[in-house]
Amino acid sequence: MENSIVRAAANNTPSRHRTMTLDGTPRKAPLSAKKTKPQMDRFIPARSAMDLDVANFNLLKENNGQVNAVDTTSSPKVEYKKRLAEGLGTEKAPRILAFKNKAPAPPEGMQNNLAALYSQNAAQRPAKKNFRNIPQAPERILDAPELLDDYYLNLLDWGPMNNVVAVALGAAVYLWNANTGDIEQLMECSEEDDYITSVSWGADGKHIAVGTSSSTVQIWDANRVKQIRSLNGHSARVGALSWNNAILSSGGRDSIIVNHDVRQREHVTAILRGHEQEVCGLKWSPNGQQLASGGNDNLLHIWDASNDRPTHRITSHQAAVKALAWCPFQSNLLASGGGTADRCIKFTNTHTGAVLNSIDTASQVCALQWSRHEREILSSHGFSQNQLCLWKYPSMVKVAEFTGHTSRVLHMAQSPDGTTVVSAAADETLRFWKVFAEASVAQKAKPSSTGNSMLRSINIR
C-alpha cells in the first residue's frame, strides 16, 4: 500500500526531463522535447448523488438512435420502454417545476400575516377605454340661401338652453328648433341696404343679440319674437358679439370693442381700444374674468374684465384672427386660429401671455370648438379642402376629418348637450355633425350606428 501511494505520487509529480516507456521504465527525455502540461485529475462526481439506472437508460436511448420499424410495430417492446421510462421518471417531454399534485390545503383557521402585503397593490384596474365610432357623414343638412361669404362675420349660434339654432341669411335672422324641426323668421332689417353681420344667444336662451351693417346692435326676445331695445356705440358694422351675463360686448369695423350693460339706460360701460383694424373675433371666458379679441390686424388681445387696456398683446399670428375658443377644462387656455396667410391654431396661456403650442393646418382656420367632455378640439377650414378636422389635445393628432362642404366652412356652433356641431359654409348649407362624445359615455365610449342614418335636406326658409 505504501509503495503504491509513493508510486502514484511520483506519477502525479510533474518532471521536466523524465518520460515513461511502454513497459513502465522511466527514461530521460531529450533536451529538445517540448514541455508537457501538468496532468490534472478529472472531476469525478459523487456516485451517491447519481441515479445509474436513469443514466444507463438515457445512454442506451441516445446510442440506439431512432427506433427501427420492427421495434415500433412491436407493442410489447414499446409498452416495456414506456413503463420503464415512467418508472425511472424520464418521460418524453418532462415538465420542469411542475407539481404532480396540488399544494396541500392550509390548516383550518390559519391566517396568513402577509396577505395584506400581497394584496395591497391589487387595486381595481381602470376599464380599458374603447375608441368611439365617429360618423363621417352629417346627420342632417339644411339649405341656407343668401348666407354671406364673408370671413369677418359671425352669422351662426346655437342656443345654450332652448336648443334653437339662429342663422343670419342676408338681411334676416331665422330660428330652427332642433327638437321640433320648426323654422321661423325672427327679424328682418328695415333699411334696404342693411344686412345682418352677427348673432349671439344670451345665456338664458330667451334673448338674442343681432349686429347689423348699420352699426347698431339689437336685442330681441326670441319667445315673443319682439325687439326689446337697440344699442348704439359703433360707427361701422358690428361683426362680433359675446355675452358675459348682463354684459354684451360688441366688436366692429371701427376697430373698437364696446361693453354694454343691457340692464341700464346708459348701456355703454367701457370702450376698449387696442386693435387697428376690424374686430372679427370676440369671446368671453366661461368664468367671465377675461375677454379675448381677434382682429384683421393679425393681433390677439386678452382683456381683464376690470381693465380697459389689454393685459396681453399676442402678435404671433400672421393673418386675421377670427377663430377663438376657450378651453372648458383649463380656464386660462385659449385656442385661436389664423387666416389664409397664417393657417395655424395656437394655444395661449392667458395668465402669462405665452404661446404654448402652434400647429400648421395647411388651410385657413375659420372657426374652433372645444369638446366639453373630451380633450378634443374641432376646427373648420377654407381653401383647399373646406373640411372639418377633429384634433386630440394636447398631442394635436388628427382624429378624424369631415368633408362635404364645397366652399369654406365659415361658422360653427355646438349643441347644448355638447355632442353635435353645426357648420355653416359659403356653399349655403348647414350641416350637423355628431363629432363629440356624450357626457354620460365620455369615459366609456359607445360605438354609434350610422348605417341607418338618413340625410334630410331641408330649406331653412
Q: What is the Cα–Cα distance from 174 to 153, expressed in whole angstroms?
A: 16
* Residue 275 backbone class (left: φ over 0; alpha: ψ -120 to 50; beta: rest): beta
Determine the 3-state secondary structure of 140 from DSSP.
Answer: strand
Determine the 3-state secondary structure of 212 from DSSP.
Answer: strand
Alpha helices in 97-236 (DSSP H): 115-119
Q: Give the pLDDT of residue 38.
A: 57
CA atoms within 13 A on the CB side of 222: 27
**How many degrees, rounded to 5, is the angle at CA 290 between CA 413 and CA 303?**
115
Sign of CA dihedral 235, 238, 242, 245: positive
How buried is 326 (Cβ within 10 angstroms: 0-12 exposed, 13-18 middle, 19+ buried)?
A: buried
Rounded (10°) CA dihedral 20, 21, 25, 29: -50
Q: Give the pLDDT of residue 85.
A: 76
pLDDT in tens, the chain (461 residues): 444 444 444 444 444 444 444 444 555 544 444 555 555 555 555 555 566 777 777 777 666 654 444 444 457 777 887 777 777 766 555 555 555 667 777 788 777 777 666 666 656 666 666 678 899 999 999 999 999 999 999 999 999 999 999 999 999 999 999 999 999 999 999 999 999 999 999 999 999 999 999 999 999 999 999 999 999 999 999 999 999 999 999 999 999 999 999 999 999 999 999 999 999 999 999 999 999 999 999 999 999 999 999 999 999 999 999 999 999 999 999 999 999 999 999 999 999 999 999 999 999 999 999 999 999 999 999 988 899 999 999 999 999 999 999 999 999 999 999 999 999 999 999 999 999 998 864 444 444 433 343 344 456 66
Q: What is the Cα–Cα distance from 140 to 459, expressed in whole angstroms?
A: 12
How far, in Å, are 9, 12, 34 from residue 19 at the CA level? Answer: 15, 12, 12
Q: Give the pLDDT of residue 114.
A: 72
80-105 in b/e burial notation, b at 16+ Cβ within 10 A? Answer: eeeeebeeeeeeeeeeeeeeeeeeee
Q: What is the Cα–Cα distance from 132 to 255, expressed in whole angstroms?
A: 44
Q: What is the Cα–Cα distance from 13 to 56, expressed in whole angstroms?
A: 35
* Cell 511502454 -> residue: 22
Take residue 110 and report the three cell numbers written for it: 390559519
Distance of CA 74 to the CA centre of its chain: 68
Are 366 and 337 in contact by the 8 Å Cβ rule? The answer is yes
Strand partners, 294: 281, 300
* Residue 356 backbone class (left: φ over 0; alpha: ψ -120 to 50; beta: rest): alpha
Each residue's pLDDT tens digit, 91-117: 555 555 555 667 777 788 777 777 666
Are 405 and 387 in contact by the 8 Å Cβ rule? The answer is yes
**How many degrees, rounded to 5, is the angle at CA 455 between CA 454 and CA 457?**
140
DSSP label at 125?
Answer: P
End-to-end CA distance of the chain: 126
Sign of CA dihedral 61, 66, 71, 75: positive
Take residue 154 and report the three cell numbers written for it: 359671425
Determine the 3-state secondary structure of 55 from DSSP.
Answer: helix
